[in-house]
A and B are shown apart, each in its own frame.
Chain A
Amino acid sequence: MAEQNKVILYGTWTRPYVKRVELALKVKGIPYEYVEEDLRNKSPMLLKLNPIHKKVPVLVHNGKAITESLVIIEYIDETWKTGPRLLPQDPYKRSQIRFWASYIQQVFEALVMVLKTIGEAQEKAIKEVSEKVKLLEAGLKGLFPDGIPSVDEYSKNVTLLDLVILANLGGYEAQEEVLGVKIIDSEKTPLIVSCITALIDLPAVKESRMPHEKVVAFLKFFRENALNSAAA
């Protein structure tokens, strides 16, 4: 691959915002080099590429850095015309996908709150995220009035929103195991679950799927840390 066209992704395996970009690259069949960053010990390269936020993901293409996961995905879609269009042609459909992709950030942050709290605070957090998840489910119903398409059809129609759902909400089963609470499940949120289920069957996605036990271990560690720092 010519140095000019080289694609490098700087990321951290635990970060869903990084996962979103990885999924986009994989689904579009774009070859890339991956560099794992230790966020407790950020490399000088990362600090040079993203001096303002000092965060992952950072995509480097043609020697230029792009940051912010949704901005990166739109860049990927505009630059590589291979694979599915991550945003459809129609401006209204694009606006709906952007709206819900942006909303998922709020859903995800609410989910993280549940992980970081106990007792009354956690009950409050669970109530909040359940309301948000309900709204998301209703939104998906509007976008997919006939349900989620089959995997084959899906692979041609995967959008930015699907990738965001998988990256941020795909770990719902591991979360259920760690918290003992069902927030996303096939009864309450059938469309979110069908979307995730259809996506994880895609070959591009299957190969990079993190094993369940690893996600559970990470979420347990994250929760312990959060509760310890809150107590300190």
Chain B
Amino acid sequence: MSQVTVLGAWPSPYVYRVIWALKLKGVDYEYVEEDVLHNKSDRLLKYNPVHKKVPVLVHAGKPIAESAVILEYIEETWPQNPLLPKDPHQRALARFWIKFGEDKSAALFGFFMTEGEQQEKATKEGQEQLRILEEQGLGEKMFFGGDEIGMADLEFGWLAWWLDVMSEIAGVKVIDAESFPRLHAWIQRFKDISAIKEPLPDRSAMLTYFKGRRATFLALAKS
């Protein structure tokens, strides 16, 4: 069995997508923490020279970067507990929502990087996208993947743990049970899965870390 290594950073939701996929498929891996903000290792720069970011998956000595690309690789290499449906059209839909999550991340995270009037506007924009997600992405399904968790659920996994922390710090309520009942129910279901819950980072550590990040973003915006 070839060595699997994940280069990651504990606060990053992108990293957890990869960890969750490996755990859901029962794949053993070694985790290596990278200090991406202050001190990127030579190893990271060697394995991801283009973006210099985490996550990076290294399998049998070969590196793969970009979480969406990594997830497809994991799915193809370890087909047990599939994260994509078999039907090509259903697969295309799952991939559509993954791309939606990536393309709309600026709109979705906007509330966290802004304050005052800008934040009001950004929060509304984020909520518009979440409305589309709630009604058309999730709809009546249990998970984005259907009856079972799939790749698209991992894409939006940050909503289940990071959003709450970020909302608290930013002082805005982005989603709640009344305004987004389906997403809210999905969050509970998603967090209940042991492979998802088990690696989640400590909430108070997240509060400290993300408070610092928000302060940095706001300072940058003013400069």
Chain A positions near chain B (C-beta within 8 angstroms) = 52, 61-62, 64, 66-68, 70-72, 74-75, 78-79, 91-92, 94-96, 98-99, 102-103, 135, 139
Chain A residues near B96 (CB-CB < 8 A): 66-68, 71
5 A-B pairs (CB sep. < 8 Å): A67-B96, A91-B73, A91-B76, A92-B62, A103-B50
Binding site for A on B (CB under 8 A): 49-50, 59, 62, 64-66, 68-70, 72-73, 76-77, 88-89, 91-92, 95-96, 99-100, 132, 136
Task: Verify B72–A102 contact, CB threshold 8 A.
Answer: no
Shortest CB distance B49–A (Å): 8
**Which A residues are in CB contact (< 8 Å) with B77?**
91
Smallest CB separation, B52 vs chain A (Å)? 11
**In the bound complex, do residue A135 and residue B50 qualify as a contact, i.e. CB atoms below 8 Å apart?**
yes
- Closest A residue to B94 by beta carbon equals A71
Assess the B92–A72 pair: CB atoms within 8 A.
yes
| Closest 10 pairs between A and B when the two form their complex, measured CB to CB | A91-B76, A78-B88, A95-B73, A71-B95, A75-B92, A66-B92, A95-B64, A98-B69, A91-B77, A79-B88
14 new A-B contacts, CB < 8 A, other than A67-B96, A75-B91, A95-B64, are: A52-B100, A68-B99, A71-B95, A71-B96, A74-B95, A79-B88, A92-B73, A94-B73, A95-B69, A95-B70, A99-B64, A99-B65, A99-B66, A103-B50
In the complex, what distance in Å separates the CA atom of A61 from the CA atom of B65?
A: 32
- The CA-CA distance from A68 to B89 in the complex, in Å, is 13
Alpha-carbon gap, A147 to B14, bound state (A): 34
Cross-chain contact A98 with B72 (CB below 8 angstroms) = yes
CA distance A61 to B88 in the complex (A): 11
CB neighbours of A72 from chain B (8 A): 92
Chain A residues in 8 Å Cβ range of B65: 99
Residues of B within 8 A of A66 (CB): 89, 92, 96
- Given the known A-B contacts A92-B64, A102-B68, A135-B50, are A74 and B73 also in contact in the complex, defined by CB atoms under 8 Å? no
Return chain B residues, CB-CB under 8 Å to A95.
Answer: 64, 69-70, 72-73
Task: Report the minimum CB–CB distance from B35 to chain A (whole Å).
Answer: 23
